[in-house]
Structure 1
Amino acid sequence: MPSGVPEAEQSWLREHYARGTIYDTLDAFEAEFGWRPSKRTLYVRARKLGLRKLRQDPEFRGRHAETIIRWSCEPEMEEWMLEHGGGRPHEDVAAAFHERFGIWLSRGQINIFRARHGLQTKDGYGGRPARPIGYERRTKGGILVKVAERATVPMSKDNWRFKHHIAYEEAWGPIPEGYVVMAVDGDSCNCDPDNLVAMPRRTMGAINQLRGEGVTWETREEFLAVVAERSLLVAINDAESRIVRKCAVCGAEFAETEEQRRYGSRTATCPACIAASRRARGERGDKKPTVCAVCGRTFPRSQKNQRRCPECIAKAPKRSAAQQKRKDQGAGNP
């Protein structure tokens, strides 16, 4: 028995804790005793008393689906679920469905059906109370604001929008298709209109790369100039990628695919050769003349880090330049 907890509160928990959600219990507890404990406090007290919520029955929560139900192929089951599947505890829905059709539904099956048909409930037995329209919560990408009671697309969260998107549209107009809104100072929670700039999505990676390299800007005008420069470079890259070129393997003319354009560097192999696992070797290194570290002859290297001439490599392909030089000196070679 929890120490320091009044007997009246313990008796009340034994009688009322199992019913409803934790939020229902907190509300009822506050109405009964005039103060509201935290969820953790209530959980700890209930656990020490050996109490748990009926909706948290481990047998039901751990139950797997007995069979896969394709609701579009089972109109009678679907009609029954539309009529009886919402606004009730999962356990009651599963028991009633089993009584009607002889199949036990899992918690996941019920949740997915409710989400797809807009039957989710956020009050009573359905979970925590619904957030009011205008409610804000901080996330990694900025501040989310609830703009509608329910999502228009099932299983989506389109009834929530980023606050800096709303602030941008109020000040500068609708966000163009394919554009993203970025903050000049890098803080998406700063919703000052002068701190928000819309840019093409493809330019965002180039801007983030500059930030990673330590490039900074002070004003919106400076940031817009950087965005314009990066957008121009992206456009030049796109234009170059559309130039028809010859494949270095088969000689056929080809243009880069949309996927190949993403990498920035120009490919020298056509899609057909790539699909057949034939790729051009390309130019490796600057091929400038250099001195062999073993024999001292001058040779044109084929790789940027090549230190031995082809003749020395052929004599000892698995040795490094230093190992081969030591061996030659030990054998008395010059």
Structure 2
Amino acid sequence: MHRWTNEQKQYIREIAQGRYNSEIVDLFNYRFETEISESQIKNFKANNKIRSDVPRKRITGDEGLFTQEQKEFIQRNVDGRLNQELAELVNKEFNLQISTKQMKAWKHNRGLSSGLRGSEGQDPPNKGTKGLYNVGGNRTSFKKGQQALNYKPVGSERIDRDGYTLIKVSDEGLWNKRWRHKHKVIWEEKHGPIPKGHVILFADQNRRNISLDNLIMIKQSQLSVLNKKGLLHNDAELTKTGIIMADIYLKIGERKRRKK
């Protein structure tokens, strides 16, 4: 059973509206480097009374982690490739940063298989020709030690699907260790690690405004009240006032619980 962190719970609440469970699971696994299934997302939403309010029938195929074009590309190239090889091929073709875990989870949720024995772990017949359509290999094949064409140096920045700025902080480790939210990095450089149960809030709700003056650290409980009571505003000063009101609501709730 997956143990949901407060950050993960809040993230699902933020992205659930207007999205199908398959889209939510793609974005969630992309964000947290997990292998959560659609059924786990469905159960979490049901247990927490979270609604997406989407029509029963999809209108387009460009939902979720991949566009329709990218999905069709994966389906055409899945046979005979390890998850890592398939992820590298997709990254090269579309200039993405998909990890092996994300590819594995995406395939699993859609019943896709490479046809390899075991858990996609056997060497395919075209091993050594990463990024190629032909199995014979040629001078454009990746060689051991060769840097990937989509390599981004430390310090590079990109915008994720939720509008947050990501900055590459390392060449080592999992994707979520190599790329971090820039606003968190900036905050921690000034104030130190973000304590458990806390989040960094954009005072004016502009995720591109990453100046220290626009970043406020609050408790997860405060953020929940801010969202529930509609106390977040594009005006930074109104948001700061909203935080004060959120504290008042929390204290009122605490007193009510004590009386009971």
TM-score when scaled to structure 1? 0.35
TM-score when scaled to structure 2? 0.43
Which fold has the larger relative contact order, with Cα–Cα distance below 8 Å and residues 6 or more apart in sequence? Answer: 2
Larger radius of gyration: 1
